[in-house]
């Protein structure tokens, strides 16, 4: 069972370069999320989506953009990467928000910006 | 501001019991969650509490006191595979999850 799949798993960028992280889920979930995880800090929500064609800002949206053109896919873009965006990025999905809140996470994408 | 506090690191012995505490201050409350995260891997769901009391699930139990803004995760009969970080998260009034920084649990033989 695939669940939530993220690509790429690892990426090294130079400052100013752009890239897109792809998240795909096969559980027909409505809600999808992008988090970043940094040492000594809790997971921080970047952007999220409550359904196909919708997106919303989370706690730390600056420097990132997202799109949810298809229900199963949630893309995270960095237009001009900065060293502060070096982090591990996790995509997650859930059936609905007002529930047990169980999130299903992808394996993570480790991004280094030089 | 919203805040989740949990110890940074704990050490326990294989076969023993360990309790990981979590205190929170959030704008509203719609449930508290515990996730397990092995090094280099994704978090996985462990438990959910929305009412006061103890929820037991095999070797793991989670307790909640909403009046005290307090929860703990209790792990019994510790195994080496329990070495991981344990993340506490609270769903606030806007149904957003607020995450603690995690407690790294080290199990020694």
Q: Which residue has the tokens 């280094």?
A: A112
Tell if the CB–CB gap between A42 and B48 is shorter than 8 Å.
no
Query: How many angstroms separate the CA of residue B95 from the nearest CA in chain A?
Result: 6
Q: pLDDT for A60-110, tens place per residue?
A: 999 999 999 999 999 999 999 999 999 999 999 998 766 556 899 999 999
Which residues of A are less than 8 Å from B101 in CB distance?
A: 40-42
CA atoms within 13 A on the CB side of A29: 27
Q: Which two tokens stand for residue B106?
A: 């080290």
Number of alpha helices (DSSP H) and beta strands (DSSP E) in chain B: 0, 11
**Interface touch B41/A107, C-beta < 8 Å:** yes
For B34-65, write each residue's pLDDT tens digit.
Answer: 999 999 999 999 999 999 999 999 999 999 99
**How many angstroms away from the CA of B17 is the closest CA of chain A?**
25
Ranges of residues in chain B with a pLDDT under 70 are none
**What is the pLDDT, as a whole number, of residue A98?**
61
CA separation for the pair A84, A38 (Å, rounded): 10
């Amino acid at each position: 069972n695939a669940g939530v799949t993220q690509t790429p798993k690892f990426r090294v960028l130079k400052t100013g370069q752009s890239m897109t992280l792809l998240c795909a889920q096969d559980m027909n979930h409505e809600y999808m999320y992008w988090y970043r995880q940094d040492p000594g800090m809790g997971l921080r929500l970047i952007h999220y989506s409550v359904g196909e064609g919708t997106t919303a800002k989370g706690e730390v949206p600056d420097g990132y953009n997202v799109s949810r053109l298809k229900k199963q896919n949630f893309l995270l873009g960095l237009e001009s990467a900065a060293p502060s965006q070096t982090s591990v990025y996790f995509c997650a999905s859930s059936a609905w928000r007002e529930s047990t809140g169980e999130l299903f996470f992808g394996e993570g994408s480790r991004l280094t910006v030089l | 501001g919203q805040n989740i506090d949990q110890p940074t690191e704990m050490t326990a012995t294989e076969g023993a019991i360990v309790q990981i505490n979590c205190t929170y201050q959030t704008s509203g409350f719609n449930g508290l969650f515990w996730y397990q995260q092995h090094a280099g891997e994704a978090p996985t769901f462990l438990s959910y509490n929305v009412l006061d009391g103890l929820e037991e699930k095999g070797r793991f139990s989670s307790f909640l006191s909403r009046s005290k803004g307090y929860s703990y995760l209790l792990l019994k009969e510790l195994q080496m595979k329990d070495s991981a970080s344990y993340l506490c998260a609270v769903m606030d009034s806007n149904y957003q999850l607020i995450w603690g920084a995690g407690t790294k649990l080290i199990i020694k033989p």
